[in-house]
Every structure is written in structure tokens, then in C-alpha cells.
Structure 1
């Protein structure tokens, strides 16, 4: 974005101690704040907003050009305090250096402190040309770990439970299940695409000429059969592959992807999908899934052991179950490695990682401003719910909701860095990636940057490594609140037992433990009742944290995306205004979620109801009516890892449709009270 006072200078992004990114002019030291961002910098956002609204006044005359839209801003003032410029389209605010200093002196509520960080530039050196780590070796090591885990549960069962494990039977069951899934999955996906989505099958001849030639040339070079091409007739960018072997691979593209990307970028995406086929990734993942299936059956075998030492059997079973869980995470790690390998394949085929990097960014950007087929009423956008089909898809692991300069320009590199800092710095990003089949896009771009360096090229984008602060304090609080119901469910009965034991210890002495525990006379109803009381308290506190009811502030989408200290557990209450531009799930008749777009960007809207069947009927009968409507959304902005707003209420500005009110947040408070009361009754009177 260009500086309003110095058009030759671009605004630079700086981090603050509040976890908010701001845009500064390096020459004039003016500051640009997107709508609502001023209040995110406050110690007490609600109080600052009230003071701001009390003194806010309009003035006549045009102001400077808006950094966001390049259109003239209007002059505003805080009555008798300070003048500033406001963008009428986006609600963003511009303060020059003197105005910003005056505002800070006026209110002690502002907590504006910049974090010192050194800018990164790319300087080629000898280390830039080093060999990249072998992803095949990494794949082999992961399979080695899986095989190591294979023998551990068998040894535990035979050594400590005196059982002769029918390994052949367990392995046969695991192989049959995995083989059946491997064989039938592509056919299920074929049927799903035919029945639930508007598609054009066997559409190779309908691809652009350059793409047909690229596919023919690449498959011929790699010695594989030309894959079957299916098209999803939808404006949102989408790409994935499935099948059994390179000989019967299917690649699915959306018409929106073809419209959004340049020729080279589109070829990069298709090369990525061909890479999955060339590397036999689908078969690889099917083989890897045998291990968790086998471990689960070994866990079932260990549970069937009846012996005099039930506690020993339980411990061994629990350990094998932990091994099973670890194997699931190892398989997910393998999937992420195969995804990176497909990225590397695409960059190698094109001899330039920039094309795939740019495509990844544009796919995220296209989720906001991708070209749409205006002849279709059902304009839908890519959804996180479509990830069930994106087993090897390029569009997964998160979307880059980038604030654009205008409706047609490409996202700038600084804006990209701004949004992706959450992926690189917030500990929650690693938490979500650990449970995902795909790396976060930010990390994929970083790996592609390493490949660029190995090829003697500058990376498409660089990321600052000097993190301005630690975000682990907020993460640990979030995790504690997330686990609080479980902690309270276990901890309260345990504390009750300890309290009784301490009381009895004072009477019997520490050498009489058998007498003490015999005298505890713990009743199951009381213990269970205390557990329910703890569970109710924990759930209630967590709900208060998840659904804060403090003032919902007017925000722009761009200002929300700059917030780093945000997660699914730590939301930002907000009000956003914009246009519903499509359903959440591309091509689905049943999607109840939406995408909303304002002047600064686009974001996913999550519509939740207490029962899934209610979401189904809302998507089937009502959701389509809201597409194209100007609306006001009250809700909670979250990131997990995709940015989204959970709807509290949706109101059409023209009142043409009935408002949508959600009640999940209400039930999240009511149900814990019910659990608490039932637990109290059980504790006092028994079941």
C-alpha cells in the first residue's frame, strides 16, 4: 500500500506488543489502521470505543488518497482533540505523525508499542546452492518408525500377558480393511462428484490448449498414462487428485481455478497433482494406513486378555493404545512429507518454484476475489468441509485470506507476510498442522523458497525469523481452558479423596495405609457426582472464554486478519458488514455456511446450530436466499488455522429476509448448568 503523504513510499508492516500488525510510512512516520484496528491496540477496547464515538465529528472537505482503495478519504476529527482521515469505503483511519502523537497523549487507554525487528533481504551466497534434503529418505525413515512400533506391542503382549498373538490374523484383518478402502475410495469419490456436485466428466478436451500440451508432455516424460480430468463447474479455485495407481489417476480442477491462475501457475498446480500420481502417493498412504489399523487390532487383542493381574493388562493395553495414536500422527506426518514432495516435483518440472508459490498465494487470494461465473446464481466458494475430497489436494491446510489493495490487483508481498505470520509464529498453527494431512501454506512457501535458493534463484517471498515476542503464554492459557472440563472432572473427585485421606491420616498415622483406605468408604455416586460438578464448572468457564459477550466492535476483515493473538479458543468479538458472495462448500446443495466480502477482503462464515440436522435443512432450504445480500454479521472471529467468523446473528441490511440467530453459544452455557445441578443431586442423594 502506498503512503498517502508520500506516494513514492510503500507502507511497511510492523508488529506491536498487543499482537496486532500496523502499517507505517517509513518516511513520514504516519500510521494506517484498518477499521476497528485502533481498538485492538487499546488496553480496554470497549472504553476507547465509547470515548471515540463520543468525540467523533465529521468535517467538510476531501482528504488524502486511501492506501487501501486509492480513492479520496474524508476528514474527521475527535472534537477539539485531533483531526485525521477516514476511508469512506473501508472505514480505515490515517494519522500523520503529529496527529498520532496527539491521540496517544489524549488517552492512556492506547497501548501502542512497536516491537523491534530486523528486516530480511535475500543475499545469495555459497550456502544458497546446497543440496535439498531427500524427501524419499524422510519417507523411508517414517516407514522405519512405523515398523519399529509394529514389534513393540507384539513383544509387550507376548512377554507380559503370556499371549500367543495371532499376528497373521490381525495383519490379515488390517490388510483387508486397508485394501478394501483403497479399492473402493476412488469409486466413492466418483459417485460423490456426480451426485452432489456440478461436474463435467472426462473434460481433457475442454482444458486450455497450453494445459493439454503441458499434461501430455509431462506425463510422456514421466512415462505414465495421461490422467482423467474432471471439472467442477464452480467459480472457486479447487484442485485435487485421486485414484489407485499412476495408470488410473483422476485430476479434478474447478473452472474458477482455471480463470484465476495464469498459464504457468495453472501448469504448476497440475504438475503438483501429477507429482502425486508419479510418486504413487495414494498407494503409499494406503500402505501406511495398514499400521494404525493393525495396532488398533493388537490393542483389541490385549484388552481381551483375562488374567489375575487385571491392572497389568490394563496398563499394557493403555500403552498399546498410545502406540496406536502415535502411529496415526506418524501417518499424518508422512502425508505432509508427500505433499512437500509433490510441491518439489512441480517446481522441478517447471525449473522455477515461483510459479507454484504464486499459485498457492493466488488460490488463497482467489478465495476472496476469484473471478466468478456471473451467469450462475449458485456462486459458491471453497470450504474447509471440502477437505474430505482433498486428500491429495493443493487447496488444503489453510487459506490465505489476504486483504487486497483493490478488487483486481494481486496481493502484495507485505500483505502476504502480514497474514502468514500467524502460521509461523502462533503455537496453535503447529497444533493444527500436527493433526492435518497437509502442511500450512506458509510452510509450503518456505520450503519452496529453499528450493529456489538451491536453484540459484531468489525465493518468491521471505519471512522474518526474528519473532517479535513469544506467543506461548497465550497458548498455554488457551490449552488450559480447553482442557479445564477434563481436569475438573478428574481433579474434583481426586481432591475429595485426598482430603478424606489427609483427615484420616491425622487419626491413624502414616503407617496404617490399609486401614486408612478401608475407612475412606468412598461411594461411587458421590465420586461420580463430584466429577459431574467439576465437569459442569469446567464447561461453563470454557464457554465464557469461547463466547465472550463483551462489546462486539465494528471491524473490517483486513483488521481481523492482522490479529496474531487469536485462535479457536481465543476469539475476537466483532461486527462486520459486507456482501454474502456464496455458500461455504463449492457446488454443494446442503452447505449452510457462507463467504462474506467487504472492501478489504473476504472471510468464511461458520453457521452453527445445536443439531447437525438443523444445519442440513437450513442449507437445503434457506441459505441460497442470502447469497448476494448486503448483511451485518455479529459474531466471533477465530482462526483454526483458516480464518473464520462464527455467526451469532446475520441481518440483511434491507430487511428483505428474516434475521438468522444462532443458539449454540446459549446452549454452551445452559448445558453446563444442567450438568452441575445433576451432579450436585447425585452427590447429595445418589442416583
Structure 2
């Protein structure tokens, strides 16, 4: 028997089978000191606990306490406290009823007895979507019209009525052409990144028969043709739709999505895409993202060319980076439409399947699959990047949820990992994060799906009513107080610039016309310096915690780092996307997290081989990471120090020191010095 089979049994909650596999593995293991043997023992503790045999789990933990590894000793102590408390707790023989569950005839506990139900959704969601769709269309048309005005300005100094009429007519013509050509543009662009295999309903029926039923019923009710179905051989869990007319829509899914979802969850994802046909958001998004797809295609082409080119590599990479930035900025045009339509599409998925819980599980499994496919030091998958607005959820904001559920499925933590939703539901920074997301945050979508569960009289997934109840007991004044503090940090450079500009206008009579520029630069530098002092607070209150404790903290900040200290194993490293440092991956007893490592200038550019050598030595070793944790799109730790836990005189491993504070101070000081130089130079003329 292998550990892989045991892990699969644990993930599927077949604990008795997992126990049998793990016991056989431990008996056959020749060396009880190996990492694999210890992992098997830890999984046995988890399996025994979940089957109600806390006594056997306690016996294993007591043996593990004798292991010399300090991390394992700490894990054993924490587990013993929980297990002994569970052993002493009196058994509850009563059967508790769920007040949210009504009597549903012939229905499973997690789904309704039939599909095509009608669910209530607040009117505001429909109004928000209608307004967002109108704004998106006007933005695209306005950009086309603005380009025409810019071109007219190049050839004529006077904007006559004739020019304006010509610009208006040309905008209408080009907008119409773009509207009908946008599916072709998206399809041509997608062919450059991957190959789409077009399949039939019969092919899909072999994989997901319920999805076929949902598609056929929807198309019959809407009196439209069956959408063209595509399959991409990619391990990233992706599903997206594009097209202009309902009769010519294309729904494409990846092999990775079909592999990680169950039949009812696949049906829910297809129903979500059908929801885009129902509210026509698929046409609006296709129309608005087509120009951005061309820009992203330019980015990909320049990136490939830079690898083959013998000259001007850096210039090509710079232009490719600029094109990627323009593409990301272009996604903001459709953010309102895609974000507001996600609530309507979730409702359609729940109505067509009669199974809102399936969509709930699909969202969390997709997030977990995204985490599993993320590779250290590798660029983001072009499939994910190019279909960000067209897909089911935003891969950028799904990572924290995916990390929590990866830990949950591994069964390596006793924390209530469902609390990871509290941050998205109640932290004010979640509003800021969602504003930059192509879709509503997963926690907020599940909250709405839970309301459909209640309407259908079903049992909700992930104890979500309890999570909502716990959220109401959070310290709201503290949440908003922390948010106001973070706003002060975020706006410090702009505040400094504004104060410098205002002071220059107050004292303009004392100097010359260069005073506003110089004092503005000085104010900007001082603002950045002040921002750094708050982003990286003192270590006098450093918290000794683990990854789970950080992920489920509803008070975690996006800007102000929380000083933390986490023991774990360094899994690997990779160069940062902007080539300004390195990204490291640390695994503790519960999961893994990324570390942002920023060396000093000398070692970063003059002697990078020394850094790589030290990281190679530390890879696979037990280390203690100290730094500042932030919860955002990617929950990560800005590293301060990384040192080996076991001091070995024969080993060449040394402590890695990161210089985030130093770089901030150097940058801010350089800006202040520049402002003073401008002020001094202006006095000579």
C-alpha cells in the first residue's frame, strides 16, 4: 500500500479504509524515522480522530512527542490538547435537527428533487448588472470615439461639425464591425495558446451526463441551438464562454476541471455558463474584451520573440511587459459587468440544477485546483490569464480560499478552515479586493448560494450559516479602525506630495517657479518613508503562529504587515516576476505559503550566484521564517530572516536576510535627495 492511496482515501472521507492502508504501510516501513513514516503517523491521528477513536490518536501523538524534530513536537502537543478535550467530552446521544432544513419529498439532503426551479434574488442585483452592462458598452464606444478624435486632432487644428459627424459615423461602423467580429478575434487569439477540441453532447455524456441534461433542457426552454462545446487538454480548472448571439455561443472547459469536479458540479459549471447566455453578459464581455485579446496576443508574441532574439532582448521584454500592463488595464472595462453578472449566473446554475450546493463545491474545488497547478517561479498560465474575464471565477482572488481547502482536504489541521470566508465577508479590505476582481469574491457568492439552499429547504455546505453567525460577533469597530489605518498607509505618498505642493504655493514668494516641483518631490519621498515605517512594524509583538491561523484571521490586513514567525520546510524558490527579488515556498505542518525575499543591491545584481547557492542549501531543510504577513490577492509573507532550525557546524547553510525596509528607505531617501537637488539647482539660475 502507498501513501498516495491513503491520501486519496482521506480526501474522499473514507477514514476506515485510510486507517487500514496507513497501518499496513507503517508495519511494512523499514525505518520509522523517515519523513514518509512520520507523515503516515500524522494522517493516522487525523483518521482516528474523525472516526471517534481519540484514544488511539492520543497514543500515536505521545510517541511522536519523543521525536527530536521541534516542529513535530509542537504539532503533537497541540493535537494532544484537542484530542484529550474530545475524549473527556460527554457523548451527545440526542439527534439535533437543522432548523433551516424543510421537508423535501424524495430529495437528497444536499439537492432538490428536481431542476428548473425558481429562486428569489434581490432586485438590486439585476439593477446593478443592467447599469454595469450599459456602462461597459458606453466605455468601449467612448474609447473608439476618443481614438477618432485623437486622429482628427493629428490632421486638423479645428474640430468642425463635419469632423464630429464623421467621427460619430465611423465609431458606429467600427463598433458594429467589432461587435460581430469579436468572437472570431477571441477564437483566433485562443488558438495561439492552446488547441481546442470540439466535442458533441454524446462525448460529454460519457463524462458528465447531468451536464448534458441541463444543456438540453435549457436550450429547449430558451428555443436556441445547442452551444458549441470545446475541450482543452490543460490541467488548470477553467471553463469559459464567448460569442455574440445565443445560437452561436461557445462553451469551453479544460480537462483539469473535468478531473477535479463530480458530475453534479460539472453540470453546475455548465449551467453557470448558460446563465451568461440567459442574461446576455457573454455577448457584452466578448465584445468588450476582443481588443484586449489582441493586445495580450501581442504580449505573447513579443515574449516568445524575446527568447529567440539575439539582440534587443531587454527591449522586447520591456515592450511585452507594457503590452501585458495595457491588457490588464483593459480588463477593468469589463469588471463591473462580469462581477455583477456572476450573482445572476450563480442563480441560474442553482435554478437549472436544483442544486446550489454543487455550485458551492465547484467554486472551492476550482480554487483548490488553481493552487495545485501553481508552480513556483513559473509565469501565470496563458489560459488563465487570457480567459480571466470570460471564466467562472477570478484566479487572482481565489488563491487564499484554495490554500485553505487544500489544507482541509489534506486533513492536517484541527482549525475550522471554513473561517477563511470571514475575511471576504466582513473585512472592509475585501471590498477593495473585489473592486479589482473580474468576479464577485467566492465567499460572497457562496453566501448568496446559501440563501438558495435555504429557499429549497436543503442542508448548506461548509456550515455556512454558522460562519455568518460567527461573523456577526466580530469586533466591527476594530475592523474599520484597522481599515482607516491602512488607508493612511496607502495614501501616505500622495498625501506627502499634496502637502509639498500646497506648502510651495504658500511660500512661492520666497523662492522661484521650481519650488512647487521640488517640494512635491520631497513630500512624495517623505510619504513613502512614512508608508514603509507602517507597512513593516516592529517585531516586539511577533506572533508565533502557523499558516492556518493566518488564513482564518478575519482582521488580517492587506497593507500593514503582521509580524509573524513560522517554522517549516523550504520547498523551493523562483525569481520574482519583476526580477526584483525571489519568491520562496515554505511548508509548515498544515500547508504552504509564499515568501517574498529581497536581497541587498550588491548580492541581487553583482553576485546572484551566492544567493542561489544559499537557497539551494536551505531547500529541503527545516527553517524558521520571520517576516510580515499580508492577506490580499496572494496571501504571502514579506521575509525578514530565514534561518535553519538545526545548527549543523558541518553545514554551509546560513541565515538569509531580506531587506524590504532598507529598500523602502533607500528609495524614499533618493526621492527626497532628488527634490533637494532640484531646489538647490534652481537657486543657481
Q: TM-score range by the shorter chain?
A: 0.5 to 0.7
Aligned mate of 2:345, from 336, 339, 342: 342
- Name the stretch that deviates more: 403-412 or 669-678: 403-412
Aligned to 2:398, what secondary structure does the other structure show? coil
2:271 is matched with: 271
Match of 1:393 in 2: 391
SS at match of 1:524: coil
The residue that corresponds to 2:512 in the other structure is: 523
**Residue 561 of structure 1: aligned partner:** 551
Shift of 1:121: 6.5
Equivalents in 2 of 1:389, 1:607: separation in Å? 30
- What pairs with 1:591-610 in structure 2 (closer than 5 Å)? 596-605=586-595
Q: Confirm or deny: 8 A CA contact 2:289 2:334 kept in the other structure.
A: yes
The answer to whether residue 370 in structure 2 is matched with residue 362 in structure 1 is no
Matching residue of 2:628: 636
CA distance in 2, matches of 1:349, 1:626: 55
Match of 1:491, SS state, is: helix
More displaced 10-residue stretch of structure 1: 144-153 or 535-544? 144-153
Match of 1:484 in 2: 492
| Stretches of structure 1 lacking an aligned partner (at least 5 in a row) | 1-61, 78-84, 100-119, 195-199, 293-326, 501-516, 586-590
TM-score, normalisation: structure 2: 0.60
Q: CA deviation at 1:678?
A: 1.7
Tell me how large the CA RMSD over aligned residues is.
5.4
Task: Indicate conservation of the 8 Å contact 1:272/1:342, yes or no.
Answer: yes
Shift of 1:269: 2.4
Deviates more, 1:672-681 or 1:465-474: 465-474
Q: Within 5 Å, which residues of 2 pair with 1:315-326?
A: none
Q: Is the 8 A contact 1:146 1:291 kept in 2?
A: no
CA-CA distance at 1:440 after TM superposition: 0.5
Q: Aligned equivalents of 1:626 and 1:249: distance in 2?
A: 50
Q: Select between 558-567 and 541-550 the one with higher mean Cα deviation.
A: 541-550
Whether the 8 Å CA contact 2:208–2:263 is kept in 1: the answer is no
From 466, 472, 492, the equivalent of 1:466 is 472
Query: Quick check: 1:354–1:459 contact (8 Å CA) kept in 2?
Result: yes
Higher strand share: 1
**Alignment counterpart, residue 668 of structure 2, candidates 660, 669, 672:** 672
Report 1 or 2 for greater relative contact order, CA contacts < 8 Å, sequence distance ≥ 6: 1
Of 215, 235, 248 in structure 2, the residue corresponding to residue 219 of structure 1 is 215
Give the deviation of 1:480 after TM superposition: 1.4
Cα drift, residue 534 of structure 1: 0.9
Residue 147 of structure 1, CA deviation? 8.4
CA contact (8 A) 2:268 2:359 kept: yes
Q: Which residue does 2:252 correspond to in 1?
A: 251
For 1:625-669, what per-residue CA distance to the aligned partner results, in whole angstroms no more than 9, with x for missing partners?
899945644443211244233455667889799987765553222
Cα gap change, 1:584 to 1:364, in 2 (>3 Å) = farther
Task: Name 2:404's counterpart in structure 1.
Answer: 402
Distance 2:406 2:670 in 1: 47
Instruction: Write out per-residue CA displacement over residues 368-390 of structure 1, whole angstroms, 9 at most, x where no aligned residue.
Output: 6x6x89xxx99989889944532
| Cα deviation 1:573-623 (Å, max 9, x = unaligned) | 3343445678999xxxxx975665433234355567999xx99xx9xx989
Query: What TM-score, normalized to structure 1?
Result: 0.60
Report the secondary structure of 1:229's partner residue: strand
Q: In the superposition, relative to structure 1, how do residues 176 and 216 fare at CA in structure 2: closer, same or farther (>3 Å)?
A: same
Q: How far apart, in 2, do the equivalents of 1:538 and 1:604 lie?
A: 28
C-alpha displacement of 1:536: 0.8
Name the residue aligned to 2:450.
Answer: 449
Equivalent in the alignment of 1:283: 283
- Cα distance, 1:494 vs structure 2: 0.9
* C-alpha spacing 1:254/1:433, structure 2 compared with 1 (3 Å): same
**For residues 377 and 673 of structure 2, what CA distance do their matches in structure 1 show?**
47
Task: Note if contact 2:346-2:449 (Cα within 8 Å) is conserved in structure 1.
Answer: yes
In structure 2, do the counterparts of structure 1 residues 610 and 88 end up closer, same or farther at CA, with 3 Å as the change threshold? closer
Q: 1:564 to 1:357 in 2, by over 3 A?
A: same
Query: How is 1:189-200 mapped onto 2 (pairs within 5 angstroms)?
Result: 189-193=190-194
In 2, distance between residues paired with 1:150 and 1:627? 51
SS at the partner of 1:398? helix
Question: Is this contact kept in 2: 1:583–1:627, CA < 8 A?
Answer: no
Q: 1:444 to 1:175 in 2, by over 3 A?
A: farther
CA positional deviation for 1:491: 0.9
Alignment partners' CA distance in 2, 1:385 and 1:664:
33
The Cα shift of 1:535 comes to: 0.8
1:122 aligns with 2:96: no
Shift of 1:448: 0.9
| Distance of 2:165 and 2:635 partners within structure 1 | 46
Contact 2:210 2:264 in 1 (8 A): no
**Alpha-carbon distance, 1:359 to partner:** 1.9
Question: 2:433 is matched with which residue?
Answer: 432
